[in-house]
Amino acid sequence: MKEIFVRLDRCMGCHSCEIACAVEHSKSKTLFGAIFEHPVPKRRVYVEWVKPDHKLPVLCRHCEDAPCMHACISGAIRRTAEGVVITDEDKCIGCWTCVMVCPYGVIGRHLETHRSYRCDRCPDRDEPACVSACPTKALVYQTVDEFSANVRHAAASEMVAGERG
């Protein structure tokens, strides 16, 4: 099962992921179409800035012990067989309890439709739109094993480089 990993040292704060996310969640799925749509398509990834000058994309972690899913008072939040925590728009009543309990602040409130929304890991795509759009590969879509293997490989390369001086 793949997840979206964030590599903190790589984000340049370009916000490309946000635009790609909103476009992917639009009706037209094109940038020019998306900007004229009503309601305006919503991004589900947020590039945040921390002083002195750190940037990072924040998005739903699809928590193993998802507080939103248990807190939901209408049964609208469930986990799919793929492990993705999704909000069923038909069942959501817009009470915002999930917003209140999410420790990542990544559940959005759609004011026009009065429903909450979040990252759905782009079910229609092989790779989520934000990952495809990231020019620095700060966002990667891998399994935990693949990701940690890459981290090990990078660390090993640095050690070898250090050994050589």
Q: Does 45 bind other proteins (CB under 8 A)?
A: no
- Identify whether the C-beta of residue 86 lies closer than 8 Å to the C-beta of residue 80: yes
- What 3-state DSSP class applies to 104? coil
Q: Does 94 bind other proteins (CB under 8 A)?
A: yes
**CA 110 – CA 21 distance, rounded (Å):** 15
Please state the separation of Cα 28 from the chain's center in Å.
21
Q: How far is the CB of 46 from other proteins (least distance, A)?
A: 7
Task: Please select the residue that binds other proteins; options are 29, 37, 40, 54, rule is CB under 8 A.
Answer: 54
**CA 50 – CA 96 distance, rounded (Å):** 26
Q: Does 95 bind other proteins (CB under 8 A)?
A: yes
Q: How far is the CB of 75 from other proteins (least distance, A)?
A: 3
- Give the range of 20-28, 55-63, 125-133, 139-147 binding other proteins by CB under 8 A: 55-63
In the complex with other proteins, the residue whose CB is nearer, 1 or 81, is 81
Task: Please select the residue that binds other proteins; options are 10, 15, 79, 110, rule is CB under 8 A.
Answer: 79
- Identify whether the C-beta of residue 59 lies closer than 8 Å to the C-beta of residue 106: yes
Tokens read off for 151: 């981290």
Q: Does 83 bind other proteins (CB under 8 A)?
A: no
Backbone dihedral region of 92: left (phi > 0), alpha (psi from -120 to 50 degrees) or beta? beta
Contact residues: other proteins, CB under 8 A: 8, 46, 48-50, 54-56, 58, 69-79, 91, 93-97, 99-107, 109, 114
